[in-house]
């Protein structure tokens, strides 16, 4: 029944491709009503298959996770009360470790899940939990209840007031199409919208899912051709058929002897020619490159950054590609902060103040509470020409176009924290200089240059030199 299975697979492939492309047209009315849940499930299944099995999709996901979120999240309170800021930041560090109600990830992990969801699911629902964290609801569980067309309800202004979510089975942790569901009326819905009236999200990779699949299929086809080429394949020319094995080494007719020792007798005029396998051919590499460029264009990530391959690029073109990637990553960070980070932090801080875990936040000059004034210290771009970046920041600082807070913030550092660390280093340097009997300036030069400067009088004892730094 392998032929029947092949036909069935081809039919399913055609249905999945049609489902992926039907939304490319402008349809009248409500898009979420026009798209059946079965079609949405088919698209999600294709995108999830890419996440598991496609190296391009997997690499894109990892690159965005590493550069948009980074290894950890650093948040700083920016209210007018330094004491409350210190208290809130200490509490925030503890909360970020337990932000996931399931205990499987920290707050940085939740944000990374938001990035993955935008690529492969199009949506993620963060539901507040009694533990003070969030439960993560994937797109597969956001489904219309039986007898309903939509998985959500809206008010007169078009604002979503509830989501229908399927419950997990207590024993297995999974769910089925007939699993019971409930309406969630409080939660943070994370998605990226492309239309003013759009409610439910759509995976970013859905538009290029077919392209990713085509690359996988062409690679598999060429691999099969390579395997066939590795076999001893020959073509018979001159008509007729090969006779059976010849046991007469001295036969009158021409003989063909193969590597395994088998000898065949040929008829007059017959010849054997080896089968030439010219696959994948000269069009293979340009075809794959074009498809990869289509993927990079859809995701607004340069082709070189998508593949992490810069060997064929000049320094100038590589720098341009990396700067464009940084621009796209900044856009993803803005989206992540707007859709997920700020709403989640605001809810967590408000709950902490309400439960007495945090003292009341200070108020501004207008009497408004400053509990929501937080700043995300984003990861810096130390991989984009760091020498030029330092020179640019020094010129901007000298000309007054930038503050130290701006410059340090671009590297993911906080100005106040950096000053305190530098002050601690100065105190430590003075203590060590006094203990070692050397001047503080010599110790500073030793840190920067690796060797102390020569003594003014030509001596070799650094302790004999006078510290004139403060004179």
Which of 21-35, 290-304, 311-325 shows the lowest per-residue confidence on average (mean pLDDT)? Answer: 21-35
Taking residues 14-20, report their average pLDDT. 45
Which of 7-16, 51-60, 135-144, 236-245 shows the lowest per-residue confidence on average (mean pLDDT)? Answer: 7-16
Q: Could you tell me if 402 and 392 are in contact, meaning their C-beta atoms sit under 8 angstroms apart?
A: no
What does the block give as tokens for 52? Answer: 């598991």
- Give the C-alpha separation, 333 to 68, whole Å: 6
- Cis peptide bond prior to 119, omega within 30° of 0: no
pLDDT value, residue 135:
93
Three-class SS of residue 181?
strand
Nearest to 409 by CA among 417, 400, 420: 417
pTM, full prediction: 0.72
pLDDT value, residue 382:
63
Could you write out the three-class secondary structure of 127-173? EECCCCCEEEECHHHECCCCCCCCCEEECCCCCEEEEEEECCCCCCC
Three-class SS of residue 452?
coil
Which of 71-80, 238-247, 326-335, 399-408 shows the lowest per-residue confidence on average (mean pLDDT)? Answer: 238-247
pLDDT value, residue 295:
86
- Give the C-alpha separation, 138 to 227, whole Å: 41
Q: Could you tell me if 268 and 253 are in contact, meaning their C-beta atoms sit under 8 angstroms apart?
A: yes
Which of 20-29, 368-377, 449-458 shows the lowest per-residue confidence on average (mean pLDDT)? Answer: 20-29
| DSSP annotation string for 228-266 | HHHS--EEEESSS---SB---TT-SS-EEE-TTS-EEEP
- Give the C-alpha separation, 300 to 43, whole Å: 21
Taking residues 134-146, report their average pLDDT. 90
């Amino acid at each position: 029944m392998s032929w029947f299975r092949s036909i069935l697979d081809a039919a399913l492939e055609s249905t999945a491709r049609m489902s992926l492309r039907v939304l490319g047209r402008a349809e009248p009315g409500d898009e979420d009503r026009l798209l059946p849940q079965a079609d949405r499930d088919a698209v999600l299944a294709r995108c999830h298959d890419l996440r598991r099995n496609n190296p391009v999709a997997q690499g894109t996901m990892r690159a965005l996770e590493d550069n948009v979120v980074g290894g950890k999240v650093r948040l700083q309170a920016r209210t007018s009360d330094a004491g409350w800021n210190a208290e809130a930041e200490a509490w925030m560090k503890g909360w970020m470790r337990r932000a996931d109600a399931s205990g499987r990830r920290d707050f940085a992990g939740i944000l990374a899940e938001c990035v993955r969801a935008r690529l492969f699911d199009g949506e993620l629902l963060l539901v507040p939990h009694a533990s003070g964290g969030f439960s993560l609801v994937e797109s597969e569980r956001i489904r219309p209840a039986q007898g309903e067309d939509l998985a959500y309800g809206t008010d007169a202004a078009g604002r979503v007031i509830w989501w229908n979510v399927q419950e997990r089975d207590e024993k297995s942790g999974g769910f089925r199409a007939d699993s019971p569901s409930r309406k969630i009326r409080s939660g943070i819905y994370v998605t990226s919208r492309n239309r003013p009236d759009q409610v439910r999200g759509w995976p970013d990779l859905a538009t290029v899912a077919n392209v990713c699949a085509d690359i996988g299929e062409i690679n598999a086809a060429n691999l099969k051709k390579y395997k066939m080429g590795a076999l001893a394949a020959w073509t018979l020319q001159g008509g007729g058929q090969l006779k059976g094995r010849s046991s007469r080494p001295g036969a009158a007719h021409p003989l063909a002897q193969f590597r395994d020792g088998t000898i065949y007798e040929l008829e007059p005029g017959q010849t054997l020619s080896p089968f030439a396998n010219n696959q994948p051919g000269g069009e293979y590499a340009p075809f794959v490159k074009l498809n990869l460029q289509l993927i990079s264009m859809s995701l607004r990530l340069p082709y070189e950054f998508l593949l992490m391959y810069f060997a064929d690029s000049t320094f100038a073109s590589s720098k341009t590609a990396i700067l464009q990637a940084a621009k796209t990553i900044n856009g993803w960070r803005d989206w992540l902060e707007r859709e997920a980070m700020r709403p989640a932090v605001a809810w967590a801080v408000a709950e902490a103040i309400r439960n007495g875990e945090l003292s009341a936040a200070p108020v501004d000059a207008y009497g408004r509470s400053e509990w929501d004034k937080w700043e995300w210290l984003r990861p810096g771009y130390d991989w984009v020409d760091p020498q030029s970046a330092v020179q640019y920041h020094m010129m901007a600082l000298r000309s007054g176009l930038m503050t130290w807070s701006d410059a340090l913030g671009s590297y993911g550092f906080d100005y106040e924290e950096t000053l305190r660390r530098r002050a601690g280093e100065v105190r430590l340097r003075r203590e060590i200089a006094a203990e070692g009997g050397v001047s503080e300036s010599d110790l500073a030069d030793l840190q920067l240059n690796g060797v102390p400067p020569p003594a003014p009088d030509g001596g070799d004892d650094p302790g004999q030199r006078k510290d004139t730094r403060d004179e």
